[in-house]
A and B are shown apart, each in its own frame.
Chain A
Amino acid sequence: MLKGSRLVWLCLGALAAVALLFLGVHSLEKPARAEPQRAPSSTGTESRAELAAMSRELSLLRAELGGVKDRVYQAPPAPSAREEPISDPTPPPSAPQAVTLEAAQAHFDQVFSAEIADPSWARAEEVSIGEFFRREGGDGSSLETITCRSTMCRMQLRFSDDHSRDAFKLKLGTPPLNNGGFYKEQGETELVYFAARAGHPLPPVPAE
């Protein structure tokens, strides 16, 4: 399909070029034919000189036409080279790329540190999440730090064992932690969680 379309384009372009060249040659030929009528007083020497000049010009045009023909009938490049931009499975810019957990945490840390706080929301959210941990955290977990800015909260959690840590992961969909986020274990008993604000999903992590 693509090859056919391209061939059509190439042929159309070639035809246009040939037509232009033809017109150019034709316009040169007209004065040559009219010469005997237009300038009856010119000498034979002048006429021969003009004829020689036109002959050279015609030769040049023929050479150009030959070049155009070569380009038109040139064998197309290898399909792999021509179709590379289309067949390359590179995702569109909007498609998320695979990332490492370390890169994701570094990205969210960077975004978070650059955020300007929305004090009223941040304070209320910190209180809400603190209450959630006191209510749901159980004996095996503690909220070490929590800071909210404008679109997300960053919290550091400590667990007494793997079981309490895994139990926390299962509560990630529970309000107020029901707006999405990113978690990353820090060793066996600690975990960092970035909790998104409602209506503000975490930004995609750029590909490495």
Chain B
Amino acid sequence: MKTGRAIFLTAGGLAGLLLISNAWAATAGYSGLGCRPLFSTASAFTDGTIARNQTSSNVTFLCGAVQTGGAISKWRVSVRDTTPIGQVTCFARASGEFDIGGFVSPSESSGVAFMGTKALGLLLAGTSSYVVNGSKLIQCDMPPAGGLDGSGVASYSITEL
């Protein structure tokens, strides 16, 4: 009787832990409209829902996200990069409430020679921890306009664990 009950409780506990661990990860996705250039340059912004760099110099895009209560386990930025030279480079940041400090993820680039659409950061580790009342964002360095379609952020997402 005791053994059966113990087995039942153990199995139930394990199932519960599995459910919790699955439920714990949450992904929030955004369109490129969530990105803004670091400095307000009128020609460096959205074309529909895609945040584009239409200037002749590199522009930093800051893409805000909602902190749902966990460290960044994954981040993903879907970029268009048809520039003949230059590349899109992005990383994620989990900052404290007043941005006095924060965690920075490894960055990933589309590659100088790359032309097309690409998801960055898909399998990279995120930040190791997070700060209460803090914020999450993705930062991308966009190359100067060029090529058929230039460069832009079409969408991005952050998964928290």
Contacts and interface: CB of A to CB of B under 8 A. Distances in A.
Given A96-B71, A96-B129, A185 B101 contact: yes
A97 B21 CA distance: 13
B12 interface: yes
A184 B100 contact: yes
A98 B101 contact: no
A196 to B, nearest CB: 7
Contacts of B13: 85-86
Contact count band on B = 35 or more
A101 B106 contact: no
Interface in A150-204: 169-170, 172-174, 178-185, 196, 198, 201-204
B106 A179 contact: yes
A5 interface: yes
Interface in A39-96: 85-87, 89-92, 94-96
A201 B124 CA distance: 10
Nearest to B71: A96
A57 B13 CA distance: 41
A178 B131 contact: no
A183 B101 contact: yes
Secondary structure at the A interface, as helix, strand, loop or mixed, is: mixed
Contact count band on A = 35 or more
A12 B4 contact: yes
B107 interface: yes
Interface of B: 1, 4-5, 8-9, 12-13, 15-17, 19-21, 24, 38, 60, 69-71, 89-91, 93, 96, 99-107, 125, 127-132, 139, 141, 161
27 contacts: A13-B1, A85-B12, A85-B13, A92-B17, A94-B161, A95-B161, A96-B129, A97-B129, A98-B131, A99-B131, A101-B96, A101-B101, A104-B131, A173-B91, A173-B107, A178-B89, A178-B107, A179-B106, A179-B107, A180-B127, A181-B104, A183-B102, A184-B100, A184-B101, A196-B106, A201-B106, A204-B128
